[in-house]
């Protein structure tokens, strides 16, 4: 691609399917990494590294009654990590689509607020339906902080990838 082609691409809104999916992949990986790093830090500070992903993997695979606070199972850490990555890439792809749509239709940015609220509330509701013990073990504040870190990292990445969004938001109420 020539310099002129790169310059033209930089001035056009990013909306092709391949760009949306690649941005979604990277945004999802950023979010997944931030949440994983946050809980790894909390686990290390509590003296039991990798206990959170082990507990979550056990909870997903075997149910809430099988969760143990004493044993870290590498297979459960791997299982949860796979689920965690897939979930964040899906969320990142939806967020990427909403960012791309907002380049053309600025009011679509409201969808990002609903996306965040849906997943934040959805996690707490899912935990309550599954017995409610998960939030107690993780700490509601820790989940909230982790989700905010992920949302900020993903939004920051997507904001950089959509330089036209700022000017689009200036026209949000225009007809």
**Average pLDDT of the chain to the nearest whole number:** 84
Write the CA distances from 57 to 53, 54, 66, 108, 158, integer angstroms.
6, 5, 10, 35, 29
Q: What percent of the chain has pLDDT over 90?
A: 46
> pLDDT tens, 102-143?
888 877 888 888 888 888 787 778 777 766 677 777 888 898
Is the pLDDT confidence value at 89 over 90?
yes
Q: What is the pTM of this model?
A: 0.82
Q: Is pLDDT larger for residue 34 or for residue 173?
A: 34
With bands split at pLDDT 50, 70 and 90, how would you rate the model's confidence at 8?
A: very low
For range 31-46, the mean pLDDT: 97
Q: Is pLDDT larger for residue 111 or for residue 79?
A: 79
Q: Which of 40-44, 122-126, 141-145, 152-156 has the lowest mean pLDDT?
A: 122-126
Is the pLDDT confidence value at 32 over 50?
yes
């Amino acid at each position: 691609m020539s310099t002129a082609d790169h310059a033209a691409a930089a001035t056009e809104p990013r909306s092709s399917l391949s760009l949306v999916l690649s941005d979604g992949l990277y945004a999802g990986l950023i979010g997944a990494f931030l949440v994983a790093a946050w809980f790894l830090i909390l686990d290390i500070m509590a003296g039991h590294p990798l206990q959170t992903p082990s507990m979550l993997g056990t909870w997903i695979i075997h149910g809430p009654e099988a969760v143990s606070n004493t044993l870290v199972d590498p297979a459960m850490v791997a299982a949860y990590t796979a689920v965690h990555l897939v979930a964040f890439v899906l969320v990142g792809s939806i967020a990427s689509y909403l960012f791309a749509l907002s380049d053309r239709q600025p009011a679509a940015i409201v969808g990002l607020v609903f996306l965040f609220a849906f997943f934040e509330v959805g996690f707490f509701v899912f935990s309550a339906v599954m017995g409610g013990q998960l939030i107690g073990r993780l700490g509601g504040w820790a989940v909230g902080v982790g989700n905010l870190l992920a949302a900020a990292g993903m939004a920051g990445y997507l904001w950089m990838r959509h330089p036209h969004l700022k000017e689009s938001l200036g026209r949000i109420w225009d007809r």
